[in-house]
Amino acid sequence: MRIVSAAGAFPKNTYSQEAITVALGRFWNKGLENPELLSRLHSRCGVEQRHLVLPLEVYKQVETWGEANNLWIDAAQELGMTAICRAIAPHGIAPGDLDALYFVSVTGIASPSVDARLVNRMGLSPNIKRVPIFGLGCVAGAAGIARAADYVRAFPDQIAVLLSVELCSLTWRRDDFSLANFISSGLFGDGAAAVVIAGSETKFAGPEIIATRSVFYPGSEDVMGWDISEKGFRIVLSPDVPQVIQDHLRGDVDSFLSDNSLSRNDIASWIIHTGGPKVLQAVEEALELPERALEASWDCLRRVGNLSSASVLVVLEEFLAKRRGAPGTYSLLAAMGPGFCSELVLLRW
């Protein structure tokens, strides 16, 4: 099982963090008692710019969840198609060659799902196996790779693609003045990413997927997620997230690596989702990582923000393009998300 490629796709609207903060201050002007609070929170998110699916001035025109979700359906198809094409074209893979399509998102819903709509738009095989997954949030990028790896392990002559589309700005709600919403509005961006995973009997090269592990933390449902009502998505984001990482991640990683006759010292690079400054700091401390070990994650956070499930895939794209490991070295790809849970993927270059 090998990761052949990863490719991102982003909306054309790009704004500085400062411009977004000013626009959201106007968006929430009736309920924002302290405008300085929003500015202070956004300045601490580690984000310099983000891509948004709509021009900033248009968000005030989106009045209902239904309108926002329809925008999500249309944009998810466009960005998803672009991401998949960018991932497969350099390797001579045609859309009709794909055997399985895993689609992950937590910022919109559709039935038929986006993957089904792409079958017609892209000329995918009518026999393609589709697996839409909703609700995993930030962990879904790593989980999607793991599930696609399971598939090509069973069908080693086949090719699977994982597609993530997250349009976080379409979940902004003008009636939510919670601290969690102010933080998330400064952290999350819009974008898509696709990853191609090929079985061992195909001709494709790339880092080998050695093993994967899912870890669920019982009793942690209230740490992260959405409260969903007729008004749409309302962010649930506990300040306990970094502490959960501190409490669990080291033991989970050590156990996983030990089962593969490895230790943290054997890992040459760490491909970690861009959860935000406190999350990345918690990962660094929990795993006792050397300085700059998460440089790629910090850089992606600055450039595009937290893309939820697409975050770790964009970091993976950075490694495949500019930071490939020496042959035989190991990388650990990891993400965490609602549940609360973590997903670990061991790679060998």
pLDDT tens digits along 146-182: 999 999 999 999 999 999 999 999 999 888 888 888 8
Domains annotated for the chain, with CATH where assigned, are: 2-198 (3.40.47.10), 208-348 (3.40.47.10)
Query: Read out DSSP for 101-161?
Result: EEEEESS---SS-HHHHHHHHHT--TT-EEEEEES-GGGHHHHHHHHHHHHHHHSTT-EEE
Q: Show the tokens assigned to 261.
A: 């006759």
Q: What would the pLDDT profile of 87-138 be if each residue is shown by its tens digit?
A: 999 999 999 999 999 999 999 999 999 999 999 999 999 999 999 999 899 9
Is 138 a catalytic site residue?
A: yes
Q: Which distant-in-sequence residues (6+ apart) come within 8 Å of 77 by Cβ? A: 114, 117, 118, 121
176-233 tens-digit pLDDT:
888 888 889 999 999 999 999 999 999 999 999 999 999 998 887 777 777 777 877 8
Structural contact between residues 144 and 309, judged by C-beta atoms closer than 8 angstroms: yes
Cβ-contact 297, 272 below 8 angstroms? yes
45, 85, 138, 300: which one is catalytic?
138
Is the whole-model pTM more than 0.85? yes
